[in-house]
Chains A and B, each alone.
Chain A
């Protein structure tokens, strides 16, 4: 096989068995790799009725075809399976350094089932693969565990580690690479924890890869790397990180404040932006493997109540989720809260979203000190967030920790009051830090139809609405007005396919904005020899989107679940979008029609599935007709 290794590792922790397997090439040409290929394998082998935290649950790590090929942004990895947070299809992408090392070791992916008898790690050294008892790391934070593992095996051994939150099955627990890069969303840290697996460690001895057309690939790489490096967006993010324009987002009304109750807080925009982070706390800029953008931050807060030593710094999502969303404009506190989340192994977006919901519930009197174990939940009280709330969540300790460890939707249900209305989530996944009322109405549609729940990276809709990219070869050559529903459904049809391609190829959306459609096709053909044209590639993207919809249907999700909670759909209360209401149903209905999706079942019609070469899959979901 060209490009991909074609080989995966199957681990059964119950039996202690480890086997490698060669996948059929058709799996790659139909589902690409990354989250798409993971969906194919889950569809084929997953136990739909299995609890995501049971031994039967599948935990899948999958590379894309470009991992390790020295191309900016192209060496990410996907984790996938059934999300313990949402109960639906879940996937999450991570940059860093794991994907290339796994590729160099000879594998495209890992499928893990079962549960180890005692806390363990998985060690991959080329063809030598072992599950090793490792109780010494259990209970440790990600930073300490990462240092200890590297000390034992070597600093070039690449690590995926869970923190105490994953061990304690917190449903939005993360998996962290190199102590800095996160598989942040959908709770796969808890799935790893449920399998008694503290870490996966990989080291390769060589870098042998077989490409379909190495010369053509090198030509493309020589063009694309400088293009990505020199792009204006890359320059901006290299200088001031992903929060570089947070202040602009505040003026537009894109940045959520206090559980999405407000869209404008001028002073916060001036305090929490990436320029201030650079000025006050940045010590180094860092990059994922082979990436020239270097948007990652290393920070140190030297003094004050939130002093932290030099280490991983917050990105836009973390700054907003642990800042404005919970009523704080204290950047030092945000840096510390982000660091605490990393070490405990908690997703900052879901943590921020869940705590913001709890703060609003406390303010309204829907939860009281009786529910929180005497802890007052006050907007902007970062000391309480850092010292009490986050540690209690990670430990599932106390009534507050127990209430919040399963996410905002579950917490709202437990209150037995009408508090779901002000959770801000779709399909149980907390909404990321762009408010569609100020960021772009198409984003509301993108959040709602995303298979994993509210997600800003399931498709590039955000970038398409802001005019950051155009793709004339596939019909996206028009400028969008973010604040209307005009052309949003039509654009979403293109966006969901592109997003599926990106997430299956495991490409970073910041880097691949600079890649034109013919270059995408050239990459797939020169690396993997697919002999695609642009329609073939887009068809593969749409097929991946459809397959994830089918998986969700088997979990009982239908069209009614492609929804947003009322907070996002009610008129904005202030700021630029004050009074704005999104025509969500109009966009959704049009999108369904254009995608050939059944308005009740929420899945593509049998005819549409057959058109996409999914006749076998169609039989499973349309057997009654």
Chain B
């Protein structure tokens, strides 16, 4: 099935918006691992404006925002 990935903020440096083919039982945590983002970045996935747990499974057509917790001061 397909989901649409939207990198937000500094994640845009590492990936572009795109469709991604995934297995139906893929979890958010495994999806993050597969993106090969730098280990130092703590990544959270958001769906419809809400953060989702690493164990969350997607449905066809989900638009998934990929966000890092990185913050400045």
Residues of chain B contacted by A240 (CB below 8 angstroms): 10
Q: Which residues of B contact A (CB under 8 A)?
A: 8-13, 38, 40-42, 44, 46, 49-51, 65, 67-73
Contact present for B68 and A432 (CB under 8 Å) = no
Contact present for A576 and B50 (CB under 8 Å) = yes
CA distance A242 to B73 in the complex (A): 6
Subset of 27 A-B contacts with CB under 8 Å: A231-B40, A232-B41, A236-B70, A239-B13, A240-B10, A242-B73, A243-B72, A244-B70, A247-B8, A247-B9, A248-B10, A248-B68, A248-B71, A249-B9, A252-B44, A252-B51, A274-B72, A295-B72, A316-B73, A434-B73, A439-B71, A465-B69, A466-B42, A482-B69, A483-B51, A510-B73, A576-B51
Given A244-B10, A467-B42, also A233-B70 (CB < 8 A) = yes
Task: Tell me whether A457 is interfacial, beta carbon within 8 Å.
Answer: yes
Given A244-B10, A273-B9, A275-B12, also A252-B65 (CB < 8 A) = no
Chain A, range 465-493, C-beta contacts under 8 Å to B = 465-468, 482-483
Task: Tell me whether A403 is interfacial, beta carbon within 8 Å.
Answer: no
Contact present for A245 and B10 (CB under 8 Å) = yes
CA distance A439 to B71 in the complex (A): 9
Q: What is the size, in residues, of chain A's interface with B at 8 Å between Cβ atoms?
A: 44
Question: Whole-angstrom distance from the CB of B37 to the nearest CB of chain A?
Answer: 10
CA distance A152 to B11 in the complex (A): 48
Task: Tell me whether A101 is interfacial, beta carbon within 8 Å.
Answer: no
Contact present for B73 and A432 (CB under 8 Å) = yes
Contact present for B69 and A466 (CB under 8 Å) = yes
Contact present for B46 and A576 (CB under 8 Å) = yes
Partner of A245, one of B49, B51, B72: B72
Residues of chain A contacted by B11 (CB below 8 angstroms): 248
Given A251-B67, A252-B51, also A246-B73 (CB < 8 A) = no
Q: Which residues of A contact B (CB under 8 A)?
A: 231-233, 236-237, 239-249, 251-252, 254, 264, 269, 273-275, 295, 315-317, 432, 434, 439, 456-457, 462, 465-468, 482-483, 509-510, 575-576
Contact present for A245 and B9 (CB under 8 Å) = yes
Partner of A467, one of B46, B50, B69: B69
Name the residue on A nearest B12 (C-beta).
A275
Question: Whole-angstrom distance from the CB of A27 to the nearest CB of chain B?
Answer: 29
Name the residue on B nearest A462 (C-beta).
B71
CA distance A231 to B9 in the complex (A): 18
Partner of B49, one of A247, A264, A274, A468: A264
Contact present for A466 and B71 (CB under 8 Å) = yes
Contact present for B68 and A245 (CB under 8 Å) = yes
Instruction: State the 6 A-B residue pairs at the shortest beta-carbon distance, nearest first.
Output: A242-B72, A248-B9, A466-B69, A467-B42, A316-B72, A245-B9
With A468-B69, A483-B51 known, 17 other A-B pairs at CB within 8 A are A232-B41, A236-B10, A240-B10, A245-B72, A246-B9, A248-B10, A248-B67, A248-B71, A251-B8, A264-B49, A275-B12, A316-B73, A432-B73, A466-B71, A468-B42, A468-B70, A575-B49
Residues of chain B contacted by A241 (CB below 8 angstroms): 72
Question: Whole-angstrom distance from the CB of B65 to the nearest CB of chain A?
Answer: 6
Contact present for A457 and B67 (CB under 8 Å) = no
CA distance A242 to B70 in the complex (A): 10
Question: Whole-angstrom distance from the CB of A20 to the nearest CB of chain B?
Answer: 35
Question: Whole-angstrom distance from the CB of B72 to the nearest CB of chain A?
Answer: 3
Question: Whole-angstrom distance from the CB of A438 to the nearest CB of chain B?
Answer: 10
Name the residue on A nearest B41 (C-beta).
A232
Contact present for A245 and B71 (CB under 8 Å) = yes
CA distance A237 to B13 in the complex (A): 13
Question: Whole-angstrom distance from the CB of B63 to the nearest CB of chain A?
Answer: 12
Residues of chain B contacted by A510 (CB below 8 angstroms): 72-73
Name the residue on B nearest A241 (C-beta).
B72
Residues of chain B contacted by A248 (CB below 8 angstroms): 8-11, 67-71
Residues of chain A contacted by B40 (CB below 8 angstroms): 231-233, 468
Contact present for B9 and A244 (CB under 8 Å) = yes
Residues of chain B contacted by A233 (CB below 8 angstroms): 40, 70
Name the residue on A nearest B9 (C-beta).
A248
Contact present for A434 and B71 (CB under 8 Å) = yes
Contact present for A317 and B73 (CB under 8 Å) = yes
Among B10, B13, B65, which residue has the most Cβ atoms of chain A within 10 A?
A: B10
Question: Whole-angstrom distance from the CB of A316 to the nearest CB of chain B?
Answer: 4
Residues of chain B contacted by A242 (CB below 8 angstroms): 72-73
Residues of chain B contacted by A236 (CB below 8 angstroms): 10, 13, 70
Contact present for A252 and B72 (CB under 8 Å) = no
Question: Whole-angstrom distance from the CB of B20 to the nearest CB of chain A?
Answer: 19
CA distance A246 to B38 in the complex (A): 19
Name the residue on B nearest A317 (C-beta).
B73
Residues of chain A contacted by B41 (CB below 8 angstroms): 232
CA distance A456 to B71 in the complex (A): 11
CA distance A439 to B46 in the complex (A): 15
Contact present for A315 and B72 (CB under 8 Å) = yes
CA distance A248 to B11 in the complex (A): 9
Residues of chain B contacted by A575 (CB below 8 angstroms): 49
CA distance A363 to B4 in the complex (A): 40
Name the residue on A nearest B49 (C-beta).
A576
CA distance A275 to B11 in the complex (A): 12
CA distance A314 to B65 in the complex (A): 27
Residues of chain A contacted by B38 (CB below 8 angstroms): 232
Question: Whole-angstrom distance from the CB of B27 to the nearest CB of chain A?
Answer: 17
Given A245-B9, A273-B9, A576-B49, also A252-B70 (CB < 8 A) = no
Question: Whole-angstrom distance from the CB of A464 to the nearest CB of chain B?
Answer: 11
CA distance A231 to B41 in the complex (A): 11
Residues of chain B contacted by A264 (CB below 8 angstroms): 49
Contact present for A252 and B69 (CB under 8 Å) = yes
Name the residue on A nearest B10 (C-beta).
A245
Name the residue on A nearest B73 (C-beta).
A456
